[in-house]
């Protein structure tokens, strides 16, 4: 682990290497401390990266022509590191793509952002991902299956696929046959090399579907032969891209936003649709929402009608969370969790006289209540 030094702020960076054995320590010394430093190479020459940055430059009106873009690139690390050979053709290809997809306008060589392009730049997603989401939005219906929504999101370049293993093929092909004609994108021919990418995104969609259907993480990782980090990283990306899909739908088809929006919360918490109201409460996640639902507390009104003591007694809840839930539903009443303390008896004159001489433990005949403090 470590932290890089920030130019202008830190004189150096720091890192800690932890070895499990002497052999491991020797290996770490050779690979990280005694070896030569690796060259740092700019990734800006990659067309995928160029798409995002060129759109950003045009959206913020920092450039207004292909020439401006090339001049800007000359001043970057990429420009200093390379001769920019062939960059003009790459820039022109990107500008042509952005123009065709109506993200920018090109009027006699003068480039300007359009509404779609500005929003895509704000979302900081690959413009190609935005095109896939836009095309999917045009095909969404009220009856569109959850798996089809997830597959559209998983098909974007911003989501890393899951390589389908031999054992996955039969299941994935069966799904392909089952949903034929329902996919929110053009499906490549099964003999085309792109079909493998299609299946890898379908596997990601299946993983996400199991997540939102509340399948245990261990079961998902075992079944799909992946690690917990594979689930979290892809679900996080898909959550952001689902938000992007909502924003894009707002521009092109606002009426389908209500079909997409629940998916955003389901991906965030990994819950079925019946738990959406419960996870909107602070302190309630996947497991606690299911506990409440299975105990018959399925809405905020149900929680408001239930006394705090009953909620506090639920597994992994406790008094603090019960109070918070009652407050959030506007129904907190301390008496619903604790009995009110008895009224103190009036002190007689005789007791007043001897009070100072009585040992502390004999002054209070009853156990102290929380209300005494």
The CA-atom distances, in angstroms, between 167 and each of 10, 160, 170, 210 are 51, 20, 7, 18
Backbone angles phi and psi of 113, in degrees to 5: -80, 150
Residue 7 in tokens: 């130019």
Domain assignment present for 69: yes
Sign of CA dihedral 215, 221, 227, 233: negative
Given 222, 253, 269, the domain boundary residue is: 269
Which contiguous run of DSSP H or E holds residue 105? strand 104-107
Do 88 and 29 lie in one domain? The reply is no
Do 147 and 261 lie in one domain? The reply is yes
Which contiguous run of DSSP H or E holds residue 110? strand 110-113
Do 118 and 200 lie in one domain? The reply is no
Question: Pairing mode, if any, of strands 110-113 and 104-107?
Answer: antiparallel
Domain assignment present for 348: no
Domain assignment present for 338: no
Cβ-based burial of 282 (10 A; exposed 0-12, middle 13-18, buried ≥19): exposed
Domain assignment present for 341: no
The structural domain count of the chain equals 4
Q: Compute the distance between CA of residue 50 and CA of residue 126 in angstroms, rounded to an integer.
A: 10
Neighbours of 255 (CB within 10 A): 9
Which residues, in sequence order, are bridge partners of residue 2? 15
Looking at residue 34, its pLDDT comes to: 87
For residue 76, the SS3 value is coil
Looking at residue 371, its pLDDT comes to: 39
- DSSP state for residue 249 in the 8-state scheme: H
Domain assignment present for 306: yes
Along the 373 residues of the chain, how does pLDDT read in single tens digits? 788 888 888 899 898 889 999 999 999 998 888 888 888 888 887 888 899 999 999 999 999 999 999 999 988 888 888 777 778 888 999 999 999 999 999 999 999 999 999 999 999 999 999 999 999 999 999 899 999 999 999 999 999 999 988 888 999 999 999 999 999 999 988 788 889 999 999 999 999 999 999 999 999 999 888 888 889 999 999 999 999 999 999 999 999 999 999 999 999 999 999 999 999 999 999 999 999 999 999 999 999 999 889 999 999 999 999 999 999 988 776 655 554 344 445 555 554 444 444 444 444 444 444 334 4
Do 118 and 171 lie in one domain? The reply is no
Looking at residue 291, its pLDDT comes to: 95
Do 229 and 294 lie in one domain? The reply is no
Nearest to 69 by CA among 78, 51, 57, 59: 57
pTM equals 0.80
Cβ-contact 185, 132 below 8 angstroms: yes
256: Cα separation from own chain's centroid: 21
Torsion of CA 51, 52, 57, 61, to 10 degrees: 100
Question: Pairing mode, if any, of strands 14-15 and 104-107?
Answer: unpaired
Do 156 and 211 lie in one domain? The reply is yes
Residue 253 in tokens: 């088809």
Looking at residue 257, its pLDDT comes to: 96
- 154 contacts: CB under 8 Å, gap ≥ 6: 161, 201, 202, 204, 205, 208, 234, 238
Do 152 and 265 lie in one domain? The reply is yes
Do 22 and 118 lie in one domain? The reply is no
Domain assignment present for 359: no
Which residues, in sequence order, are bridge partners of residue 107? 110
Do 76 and 192 lie in one domain? The reply is no
Q: Compute the distance between CA of residue 86 and CA of residue 92 in angstroms, rounded to an integer.
A: 10
Do 232 and 170 lie in one domain? The reply is yes
Helix runs in the chain, H state only: 22-28, 47-59, 66-74, 77-81, 87-100, 115-123, 127-137, 146-154, 169-178, 194-212, 217-224, 228-252, 257-269, 276-279, 286-294, 300-305, 308-312, 319-328, 349-354, 360-363
Given 235, 269, 303, the domain boundary residue is: 269
Q: Compute the distance between CA of residue 114 and CA of residue 129 in angstroms, rounded to an integer.
A: 17
Cβ-contact 182, 175 below 8 angstroms: no
Looking at residue 370, its pLDDT comes to: 37
Do 235 and 152 lie in one domain? The reply is yes
Given 240, 269, 298, the domain boundary residue is: 269
Looking at residue 368, its pLDDT comes to: 44
Do 207 and 151 lie in one domain? The reply is yes
Domain assignment present for 362: no
Boundaries of domain holding 148: 143-269
Query: Which CATH number goes with the domain that contains 282?
Result: 1.10.150.20
């Amino acid at each position: 682990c470590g932290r890089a030094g920030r130019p202008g702020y830190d004189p150096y960076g720091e890192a800690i290497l932890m070895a499990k054995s002497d052999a491991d320590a020797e290996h770490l010394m050779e690979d990280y401390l005694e070896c030569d430093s690796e060259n740092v190479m700019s990734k800006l020459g990659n067309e995928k990266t160029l798409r995002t940055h060129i759109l950003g430059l045009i959206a913020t009106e920092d450039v207004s022509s292909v020439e401006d873009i090339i001049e800007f690139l000359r001043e970057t690390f990429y420009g200093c590191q390379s001769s920019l050979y062939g960059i003009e053709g790459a820039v022109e290809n990107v500008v042509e793509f952005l123009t065709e997809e109506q993200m920018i306008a090109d009027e006699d060589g003068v480039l300007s952002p359009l509404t779609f392009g500005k929003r895509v730049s704000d979302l900081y997603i690959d413009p190609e991902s935005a095109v896939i989401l836009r095309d999917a939005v045009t095909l969404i219906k009220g009856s569109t299956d959850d798996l089809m929504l997830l597959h559209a999101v998983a098909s974007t370049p911003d989501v890393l696929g899951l390589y389908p293993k031999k054992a996955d093929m039969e299941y994935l092909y069966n799904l392909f046959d089952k949903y034929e004609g329902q996919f929110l994108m053009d499906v490549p021919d099964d003999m085309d090399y792109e079909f493998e990418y299609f299946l890898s995104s379908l596997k990601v969609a299946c993983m996400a579907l199991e997540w939102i259907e509340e399948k245990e993480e261990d079961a998902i990782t075992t079944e799909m032969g992946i690690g917990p980090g594979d689930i979290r990283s892809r679900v996080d990306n898909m959550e952001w891209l689902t938000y992007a899909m909502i924003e894009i739908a707002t521009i092109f088809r606002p009426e389908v936003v209500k079909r997409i929006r629940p998916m955003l919360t389901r991906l965030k918490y990994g819950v079925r649709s019946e738990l959406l109201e419960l996870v909107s409460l602070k302190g309630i996640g996947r497991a606690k929402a299911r506990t409440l639902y299975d105990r018959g507390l399925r809405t905020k009104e149900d929680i408001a009608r239930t006394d705090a003591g009953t909620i506090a007694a639920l597994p992994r809840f406790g008094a603090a969370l019960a109070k918070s839930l009652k407050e959030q539903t506007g129904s907190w009443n301390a008496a619903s969790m604790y009995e009110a303390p008895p009224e103190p008896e009036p002190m007689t004159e005789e007791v007043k006289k001897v009070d100072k001489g009585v040992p502390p433990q004999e002054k209070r005949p009853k156990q102290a209540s929380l209300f005494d403090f």
